[in-house]
């Protein structure tokens, strides 16, 4: 299974899960089912902002973060 197909399948399972197992009213069920990926996205955005703030507030943090980013780039590309 390719990456986009796997992501689509995970999203579809989350939508069905929210529609069937939520105890909310029907309108709220549909809204929850469609918006459930915002939680993990908000987590990623928050962590990114906190890391950026740490780099500015604590310059010594830049070296380990730079090394980690270079290592990640090296592994992925």
Measured CA to CA, the distance from residue 37 to residue 42 in angstroms comes to: 9
Q: Which domain holds residue 8?
A: 1-36
Higher pLDDT, 76 or 61: 76
- Whether 71 has a pLDDT exceeding 90, the answer reads yes
CB atoms within 10 A of CB 22: 16
- Whether the CB-CB separation of 58 and 37 falls below 8 Å is answered with no
Identify whether residues 13 and 28 lie together within a single domain.
Answer: yes
Is 0.75 topped by the overall pTM? no
What value does the mean pLDDT take over residues 48-72? Answer: 87
Identify whether residues 4 and 32 lie together within a single domain.
Answer: yes
Identify whether residues 28 and 45 lie together within a single domain.
Answer: no
Measured CA to CA, the distance from residue 54 to residue 76 in angstroms comes to: 24
Identify whether residues 49 and 32 lie together within a single domain.
Answer: no
Measured CA to CA, the distance from residue 44 to residue 6 in angstroms comes to: 20
Quote the tokens at residue 25.
């009213």
Quote the tokens at residue 43.
């987590």
- Whether 1 has a pLDDT exceeding 80, the answer reads no
Q: What pLDDT, in 10s, does the model give residues 11-52?
A: 888 778 877 887 878 888 888 777 877 888 899 999 999 988
């Amino acid at each position: 299974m390719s990456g986009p197909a796997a992501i689509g399948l995970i999203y579809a399972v989350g939508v069905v899960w929210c529609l069937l197992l939520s105890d909310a009213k029907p309108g709220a069920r549909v809204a929850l089912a469609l918006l459930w990926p915002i939680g993990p996205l908000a987590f990623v955005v928050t962590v990114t902002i906190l890391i950026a703030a740490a780099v500015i507030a604590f310059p010594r943090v830049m070296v380990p973060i730079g090394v980690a980013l270079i290592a990640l780039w090296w592994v992925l590309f």
